[in-house]
Amino acid sequence: MSTFVIGRADASRIFIRRSITQSRRDVETLVTSIALPAILMVMFTVLFGGALGPAGGYANYVVPGIMLLAASFGASSTAVSVARDMREGMVDRLRTMPVPRGTIIFGHVIASTARNLVAMVVVVGVGLVCGFRPSASVAEWLAAAALIVLFVVAMTYVFAALGMLAGSPEAASGYGFALLFLPYLSSAFVPVDTMPSWLQGVAQHQPMTPIVDTVRALLVGGTGRPVAAVAWGVGLALFAAAWATWLFARKSRS
């Protein structure tokens, strides 16, 4: 008797559709991942902008950082979704089916990327209202978007792995919340050289700083670190994807 084995492409399409459907039904999480960055945009540009950038133009500085912060918020919900799949027995059901490993995680990643693209459009729109004035060409916009998507994919795989490690959706949410402090320890909101000397080394050598600097340079001009940004993005994405896939295979065997 022949055994039917679903192909990787077919399985990926199924799980992408499943994750997107779940995102559409989880209205509260979708609204929060979009509304919270928009609120932060207004807070940093309107309320704090005069203090943080008294010479004006702070919106141009902070909008790229809030774009990446919005991407982190959107990706963090993946940890909860994966942990929910683990608790509700989704992995146990897949263990009895001829499904390629890793495709369910890939579905979560693509759905997260789609959510984040919507959040990016909203954040940029609110930023324009708050004084953001990009000078980027079409090619520079595309390059910035590609770098942001790379960052989203990397962070989503990281949060997916955390969801695998967590014992519950509540614990996964806590792990994700801890990682959301990473943008605040970067050049997203203030220049690194204004930080305490002991903190500058941390901020300068973590993935957020070269990525946000490069996105900012593409959109409003200045000096970026494109090689370091791409290296961090690709390296983190490959490592996190391999980690999440390995954890999924390990959980499936347990």
Give percent above pLDDT 70 in the chain.
Answer: 75
At 20, is the pLDDT very low, low, confident or very high (cuts 50, 70, 90)?
low
Lowest mean pLDDT among 2-6, 51-55, 171-175, 236-240: 2-6
Query: How high is the pLDDT of residue 167?
Result: 66
pLDDT grade for 5, boundaries at 50, 70 and 90: very low
pLDDT at 89: 66
**What is the tens place of the pLDDT at every residue in 61-100?**
888 888 888 888 777 777 777 777 777 666 666 666 666 6
| Contact by Cβ (8 Å): 166, 172 | yes
**pLDDT exceeds cutoff 60 at 241:** yes
What does the pLDDT look like over 87-140, one tens digit per residue? 766 666 666 666 666 677 777 788 878 877 888 888 888 888 888 889 899 999
Beta carbons of 189 and 52 less than 8 angstroms apart: yes
pLDDT at 223: 82
Rounded mean pLDDT, 42-46: 79
Q: Per mean pLDDT, which of 125-129, 200-204, 214-218 is the most reliable? A: 214-218
Q: Would you say 49 and 58 are in contact if contact means Cβ atoms under 8 Å apart?
A: yes
Q: How far apart are CA 141 and CA 147, in angstroms?
A: 10
Distances (CA, A) of 223 to 18, 68, 212, 216: 41, 18, 11, 8
For residue 4, pLDDT beyond 50:
no
Query: Which comes out higher in pLDDT, residue 74 or 208?
Result: 208
Report the C-alpha gap between 195 and 217 in whole angstroms: 21
Question: Of how many residues is the chain composed?
Answer: 254
Measure the CA–CA gap between 186 and 113, rounded to whole angstroms. Answer: 22
Mean pLDDT for all residues in the chain: 79
- Residue 95: the pLDDT is 60
CA distance 221 to 216: 7
Considering only CA atoms, which of 94, 66, 47, 113 is closest in space to residue 248?
A: 94
Tokens of 3: 């055994």
Asked if the model's pLDDT at residue 54 lies above 60, the reply is no
120 vs 148: CA distance, rounded Å: 9
pLDDT for the residue numbered 254: 55
Q: What is the pLDDT of residue 1?
A: 38
Higher pLDDT, 203 or 170: 203
pLDDT at 53: 63
